[in-house]
Structure 1
Amino acid sequence: MVQHPGVDKVSFTGSTEVGRHVGQVAGERIAHVSLELGGKNPSIVFPDAIEDDDLIANLLLSSRVHRQGQSCTAGSRLFLHRDIYDEVLARLVETLGSQVVGNPLDEATDIGAIINEKQFASVTGFVEDGIDTDGIDVALDGSARVFDDKTGYYMAPTVFAGADNQWRLSREEIFGPVVVVIPWSDENEVIEMANDSNYGLAAYVWTHDLDRALKTAHALEAGWVQINQGGGQLPGQSYGGYKQSGIGREASLEGMIAGFTQTKQINVKLRNN
């Protein structure tokens, strides 16, 4: 389809690896293309955010563990300020550790199955790599929970704490219920770490200081930034990423005009009568 001359525009949503190939093939015939690809999204928590009783619930929404972490906008890199690091981490681990994993058709279930065996093996590989690496603190080991249900590939949440932004776990998109927690002290430092990524799809900022929130949001290299919330995208909002998270925008008027229409200039000179 990407190669077919009858296809004027290709819009692809998926992994960065496949998106890169789609872009290369489309480029051979100069076809228009938009790509919505992967993410390794930062979630930055300032000290005053701990005043919000719903902080942990919102962090769960932003990390998308209820989709088993299978979301390109998952806030899988959690940057906690050192002043609140221990308290928020403990609350997060306690909440994630109590999540019910099982059949998604059961209303009691919080976390369902990984999409297929291949993805399950990939996520498991990341978790095993983190557990086996010296210096990595496994705050919550989801792989230690054994599931007897043979109807799918189930995995409980895993949390790696005290992380370094240069770890493989911090750099690559895992696409599973895995959160990497990174401590920080300086605002410039955390923005630099957040932007130190090949991706730039989404980002999350948690603070009740609006000036600080907007300053941080503008400094982040991400196409979609949420402040004090971790829910889904609203209809009509622009959606798309920086860097290897994609090309173009979707789900908005500007995206439809720029991405799915052509501009034509027509100049007419009338004969003098």
Structure 2
Amino acid sequence: MVFYQPGKTDHNLPRDPFKACVVPRPIGWISTVSPPNVTSPSQQENGTSSAAPVHNLAPYSQFNNLTFDPPYVMFSANQTGFGERKDTTRNAEATGVFCWQLATWDLREAVNKSAEAVPYGVDEFERAGLEKTWSEVLKTPVPMVKQSPVRFECEYYTTLRLPGNPPMGTVDVVVGKVVGIHISEDVLTDGKIDIRKTQPIARCGYYEYIVARETFEMIIPGDGANLFGLEGSVAKHKALRESVEKGEVDGTGPP
């Protein structure tokens, strides 16, 4: 059994194992826009400015949903090697909005290309050859990857700043509330999102990814009310809550 204390003792392995332990990790392919009147370095150098927002797209391998009623998601962003906060974090905080799109097998090369560190002001959508579609309910319109079959529109909620070791420095854990969900009918089978059609990719350790094409089911035995959360069923969750408020059930079973 390998045992080590991160930052204190050596694991004596050829590569660091930590990120390979928690797998697979869903990818937070996050799009944002810059706040008004922010100029890119090239505009500053040329002495020009534009009110047009700068569009940004980047994948984050530490991402997940947090709850379902209402739905929240989070992504974790390290600082750059120059000690600067990521554009995604700054944009989300400044505008109060961001979007997430599902990273799929068909889009894997675009996901990888959008991960490259480029100067502020470079449009990763254009650089990766991605067509844009737009959010519908956010106060500031945000571009989304049109080719992605599942997309979330999110309102920024908060940032938890964790201390990190140089050169990464502070780690920003950004939380957003999901206020709009787009699902292509092409990836549905009998009203359910079909993993065989979406084929999402996820991060593993080192430089490895995985693609999901198969699933299996297990239903937890016992109280059926506990399954509402596993299903992510807002309707059933609401019905149970209302039944509890009316005194029809005690909250430990289905209404």
Give TM-score, length-normalised by structure 1. 0.23
Answer 1 or 2: which has greater helix percent: 1
Give TM-score, length-normalised by structure 2. 0.24
Answer 1 or 2: which has greater strand percent: 2
